[in-house]
Each structure stands twice: as C-alpha cells, then as structure tokens.
Amino acid sequence: MELLSGADMIARFLQDEGIEYIYGYPGGAALHIYDALFRQDKVKHILVRHEQAATHAADGYARASGKPGCVLVTSGPGATNAVTGIATAYMDSIPMVVLCGQVASHLIGEDAFQETDIVGVTRPIVKHSFSIRHPSEIPEVLKKAFYLAATGRPGPVVVDIPKDMTAPTERYEYIYPKKVKMRSYNPVTRGHTGQIKKAVEMILKAKRPVFYTGGGVVTGKASEGLTDLVKQLGYPITTTLMGIGAYPQSDRQCLGWLGMHGSYESNMAMHHADLIIAIGARFDDRVTNSTSKFCPTAKIIHVDVDPSSISKTVRADVPIVGPASSVINEMISLVQGHKIAHPEALTEWWEKIDGWRADREGKLYEPSKVGEALKPQEVIEALCRVTRGEAYVTTDVGQHQMFAAQYYKFDKPNRLITSGGLGTMGFGFPAAMGIKQNYPDDDVVCVTGEGSFQMMMQELSTCKQYGVGVKIVNLNNASLGMVRQWQDLNYKSRHAHSYMESLPDFHMLIEAYGFTAITVNTLDELEPALERAFADKHELVFLDVKVDPFEHVYPMQVPLGAMRDMLLSKTERT
C-alpha cells in the first residue's frame, strides 16, 4: 500500500494520466502542490506570466492535440485571472482541467485572504466543477474531471482544492483509478439508426444539398470520415470558422467557410439550398444572421453530440444525437451502393455554385501598388506559401483573425487555432506557446494585431525562459481594426477610441527580450522576411508588418439580413 499526501497524489495522478505539461502560476493556497511537482520530473510545469495565459496555452495544446489541457492556479486572484480562458474553452467546447488552490476548509466563507468562491464564479462557464472534501478522494475526482472534460461534448472542468487537502503531514492510500463510474453522466456513443436512415434517404433525394460542418467534426476526430462521405456523394461542403480544415479547403467541393465574413459562394449556397446537413455545428448567430430568414427553402438534418444544441436556435427536421464520427461512419455504410436520385439537379446546382464563384474571382481585394501600404490579405497569402499551408496558425481576434481564416488554406483539421465563440483578444500568442512546446518540430505561427498582442505580450518572458520558438506575425494597422470597420459602416467613421495612439516600438521591445524582430513596410520585403523568420524552427521571430489601416474585411453579412445579404466591398452589396 502506497501512502501519499494530497499534493503528492495530484502530482502522481498527473503522471499516471500521461500529462506532460501543466501551465500555471504559484500562490499560497497552491504551494503544497507546487512543492510536490518540484519533487518529481515527469510532469513539466510551465511558469506563465499571467494566469489567463496558462488557460490559453493549455487550450491551444488541447485544440491541436485533441487531449485535455491542464492548468494550475492559486486561490482568489489567481483563479479569477483564469476565468476568461475558462470561458474561451467553454464556448468552443475545448477539453481542459483547471486545478485551483483554495483557502483552508475552515476558512471558507469567512472572506479569508485570497478567498473567492471559484466554483460559484465559474458555474455558468464550465462543463462541471468539483470541490475536494477529503484528500483520499483526490484520485477519483481528478479521474472524473479528465473524463468529463474529454468525453461527450468536451469542455473545461474546475477542481477546487482547499489548502488543507494537500497538507504534507496527512497521507492516504493512493490507487490510480483506471475506470470511471458516473451514474448521472452517460454520453451517447452512437446515433439513432432509424434517424440516420431517414437522414440518408433525404440526402440521396436532395436537389440542392449543402454540408454545413463545425467544430464538433474537429473535436470529434471525424474529419477523415466526413471527407469520405462528401467525396462519395459529390456534394458541396462549407464549414464554420471552428470547423475550418475538417474538410480540405483546397478541394473543389469545399466552398470555404460561411457566415458573417464567410465566402460569397458558401453563403449563397446555404441560402438557396433545399437540404442542409449540419454536423457538429450549433447554428451560431455569426453563421445564421437573422434566424427568421435563415435558409428559407431548406430542410435541416442536425447531428450533434449535445442534445441541448439541437433545435436550440433553428428547428431541425431530422435531429440526430450522437458523436460525429460514428454517425458519419453509419451514413457512409448506408450510402454505399446507392445512387443519388437527381444527378441532373446536382449538375445544375454545381453550375449555379461555380457561377457564384466566378462572380467573385479576382475581386476579393485590391492588391497593393508600388509604394503603397501592404494589404493584410497579401501577408496571409505569402505566409501560406512560405509554410506550404502546413503550419499551426493561431490567431487573436479582429480583422487579422478573419483574414487568416479567409486566405490561409487549411487542408488538415486542428491547424487553425482561434477563439470563435468568446472572441478573446490575447488568446493567440499563449495558445501558440502551448502548441509549440508540444510540437517543437512543427511551424507554429501566431497571426495577431497590435491591440491583441499587447494583452498577453508579457508571455515573451515565458518563451525566453523555456526556449519556445513561435513566430509572430503582427498585422499592424495602428488601430482596433474590426472596431474601426464597424465605426466606418455604422457610426459615420467616428472612430471612438479605436486608434492606438501610443504604440511601443515593437522592434526594440522584442529585442529587449533577446529575440529577433523584423519590420516589414513593403511587398518586396515581405516574402524574404517570412523566409528568414521560418529558417530556424526553434527561434522566436516577430514580424511587425505595417498594413493598410483603411482595409475592411469582406464579404460581410448585412446585420439582421438573410445569409445572402452581404456587403462585398466598400461600394458593393448583394
């Protein structure tokens, strides 16, 4: 029988669970745990410079790997600093376990130093939470936390750990639980066969079908099956922002992504479709625009592992509760050997879609002329060429995020790492850090803007300490670009607090940390600078790219309109 303190149980459990990195920041309530981590060498602790960065780094790792990220913070401000990152993971269904130190049990409720009811604070933004009541329950609770985070619809789980639960003087038997029993939690493992048959009948009879696939395909590891199914049928497919890469974007059948800044052809195809096959998508408002005008002629098949997502905002004609992978595999077996009922209608549908594509060809943006500021679109296209479309690309939130999603062509899932649901500025850099530590031989690039980067730029210090060689491409337009775009469109260009009037000299800032900085002003400087940045996979390089401050992101859906209602440029609309 092995006797361990609560703190040592935590360290041992993380080893047994196969956790390689834990991101965190120490404080009084978590010090017993930190001491236990110090006395072992299998789990590596990464000391971030702000707890929000710990959650984003763990989140980035989870999105890239599909495994739960792990965070350790102290009580009070340590825990509350992690709240934004917890909410970010929750909105995008990302598996994460956050271990929070707490004041000793007898002090809870007395407003003790650095006490916060973090279980209460995070209740709306976690999949589940636990509070440790006795040291002996730590292994079982942690096993449940990791199981809950990773199964069904993934999400963050908070474990609140009072300091006396980890005291080194109290020891209890440690056994690593290999299985989990939770009477009240039974995530579905397959869809209803009758509903799947009904869906496949509708799919084969459709005349204007479109696949609409989201982040659930990526987190559900269903990309390969989805590609097989779509190829067999020959149908068009569009993805959400979170679903980018679930189907190869370079393939002809892929219409790009849809919604507020999605492609013209994807939004037009959705609006005119007679059947929408939604898999792992939640009909977010950034996709549907006005739900009362959404896809007026379409029947809807909706596949989702979370029953609460189905018919939540748009009514499904055929609801299927189940994991994307198993439902898709069952669909593939049912489709095999059957022909689509209306091949001539599908041919006409593709002619219509190809017409929409041709309408916008060569009109997506005006390239920069000699002597003019770079267009941000040109930067992303060059980045895609230099990295051969194979990098892990993290983004912050704003115009640069949309340009990265529009102009970098992702043919693999888990490669675009971005905050979709919460839209968290500051996410990109620490997320890139978490990915690079786990995939050191891959290219990892953070596409950011000077507004977002300043929210987490202290993590340059973390990268210096641990030798994390991410690349940072800063699309510097000296403003909060997306805010300014909305002000141009809706507030007669009254730019209330959207200009950054006192930016640092990024070149000097990066060099102060001992890293390489390159400033890019013109198109002819761009590609050589990118080649230099990616020459050494293990060197952190910051590219400060001065881009056109007046450029907008298009297409852009007209608020409260249908999916087909779009602004196509500053002077055109559908």
Of 514, 384, 500, the C-alpha closest to 453 is 500
Task: List the catalytic residue out of 17, 51, 450, 551.
Answer: 51
Question: Under a CB-based contact definition with an 8 Å cutoff, are residues 517 and 523 in contact?
Answer: no
Active site residue 429: no
- Quote the DSSP letter at residue 573: B
Question: Under a CB-based contact definition with an 8 Å cutoff, are residues 163 and 104 in contact?
Answer: yes
Question: Under a CB-based contact definition with an 8 Å cutoff, are residues 518 and 529 in contact?
Answer: yes
Task: List the catalytic residue out of 38, 113, 173, 511.
Answer: 113
Active site residue 163: yes
Active site residue 51: yes
Question: Under a CB-based contact definition with an 8 Å cutoff, are residues 98 and 71 in contact?
Answer: yes
How many angstroms separate the CA atoms of 24 and 298, rounded? 48
CA dihedral (140, 146, 147, 152) positive or negative: positive
The three-state DSSP-derived secondary structure of 43-60 is: CEEEECCCHHHHHHHHHH
CA distances from 22 to 99, 196, 394 (A): 10, 41, 20
Task: List the catalytic residue out of 15, 114, 195, 454.
Answer: 114
Strand order across the beta sheet in which 96-102 lies? 44-47, 21-24, 69-73, 96-102, 156-162, 128-131
Question: Is the bond preceding 555 in cis, omega lying within 30 degrees of 0?
Answer: yes
Taking only Cα atoms into account, the Rg of the chain, rounded to an integer number of angstroms, comes to 25
Residue type, 391: A
Task: List the catalytic residue out of 433, 482, 563, 566.
Answer: 482
Question: Under a CB-based contact definition with an 8 Å cutoff, are residues 162 and 75 in contact?
Answer: no
First-to-last C-alpha distance (Å) of the chain: 72
How many angstroms separate the CA atoms of 449 and 435, rounded? 20
- Catalytic positions, please? 51, 113-114, 163, 482
